[in-house]
Every structure is written in C-alpha cells, then in structure tokens.
Structure 1
Amino acid sequence: MIQYIRIQNFRSVKDIALELGPLNIVFGPNGCGKSNIYNAIHLLTA
C-alpha cells in the first residue's frame, strides 16, 4: 500500500504531499485537480 506520495508539476498539480491510509477521500470544486491526483497515482502503479 502506498503510504505517502508527493506530486510535483503534473498537469494542474504544482506541488502536493499526501499521507495516504486505507481509505482516502479527495474533494473540492470543479477544475481544482482532483482527477489529476488520481491520474498521477494510477500512472505510478501501472
């Protein structure tokens, strides 16, 4: 299981560090980069 991830300069995400647990919820307004966080994690695990 991924416990920590830092994403830099990936699409609309400039710099974010996340501590992950068994269940994580990402929420926010439209167009703020939620899907890009998912896409970065998906790219790493592919």
Structure 2
Amino acid sequence: MLATYVIETIGTQEYEIARGGFLQRFTDAYGPAAAAEVAPHLSGVRA
C-alpha cells in the first residue's frame, strides 16, 4: 500500500498517509481480516 501512495504522488516524498484512508484502501484490496492485522501497526500514523 505504501508503494501505491508513493507512485500516485507527483514529486519526491510529497505523499501523506492518513490512517483512516489507508485502512479503507487496504480493506478494499485485501479484506477486513488482513486490515485487522495491520491496524495495530498504524498507531503512530495520523488519523
């Protein structure tokens, strides 16, 4: 998912990741069970 954000962004290291948007896209791509496994690791990411 992080690579997707990077590729979608024009420029260098200009991307921002919001926890809610990331988790929604992750859930859409990989399903709720996978998102539930990843969610605890995003505690430091802005909401």
**Higher normalized contact order (CA 8 Å, seq sep 6+, divided by chain length):** 2
**Structure whose CA Rg is larger:** 2
TM over 0.5: no
Structure with the largest fraction of helix: 2
Normalised by the size of structure 2, how large is the TM-score?
A: 0.29
Structure with the largest fraction of strand: 1
Normalised by the size of structure 1, how large is the TM-score?
A: 0.29
